[in-house]
Amino acid sequence: MAERRVNVGWAEGLHARPASIFVRATTASGVPVTIAKAGGDPVNAASMLAVLGLGAQGGEEIVLASEADGADAALDRLAKLVAEGLEELPETV
């Protein structure tokens, strides 16, 4: 299983707009991904309600994981998005 541990770069955490950006990027990756707070239960990273339900705060560590083909590249892009608090997923990493 591929996994990335990253600190949330958005000051407001994964709430409202940042969560929406993250969920859209996850869906666009075409790879099933889970997200969890460090030590917490993983949830579907393509579900807005699940991501909001995490209550991940700015600076808090989250874990992105996937077992699918292409997981490493997808997780690298998503980790960059989250860590840097970007407004959209970079086309290339």
pLDDT exceeds 50 at position 90:
yes
Q: Take residue 18 and report the two structure tokens written for it.
A: 């940042």
> Dihedral, CA atoms, 79, 88, 29, 66, nearest 10 degrees?
20
Q: How many domains does the chain have?
A: 1
Residue 63, H or E segment: strand 61-66
**Quick check: is 69 in a domain?**
yes
User: Of 17-26, 47-56, 58-67, 82-91, where does mean pLDDT reach its minimum?
Assistant: 82-91
What residue numbers bound the domain in which 78 lies? 2-84
Confidence of residue 22 (pLDDT cuts 50, 70, 90): very high
| Token pair 């490493």 in the structure block, residue | 72
Which residue is catalytic, options 9, 15, 63, 72?
Answer: 15
> Is 15 annotated in the active site?
yes
Rounded mean pLDDT of 60-66?
Answer: 98
Q: Which tens digit of pLDDT belongs to each residue from 34-56? A: 999 989 999 999 999 999 999 99
Q: Take residue 86 and report the two structure tokens written for it.
A: 């970007």
CATH code of residue 20? 3.30.1340.10
**Quick check: is 19 in a domain?**
yes
pLDDT exceeds 50 at position 5:
yes
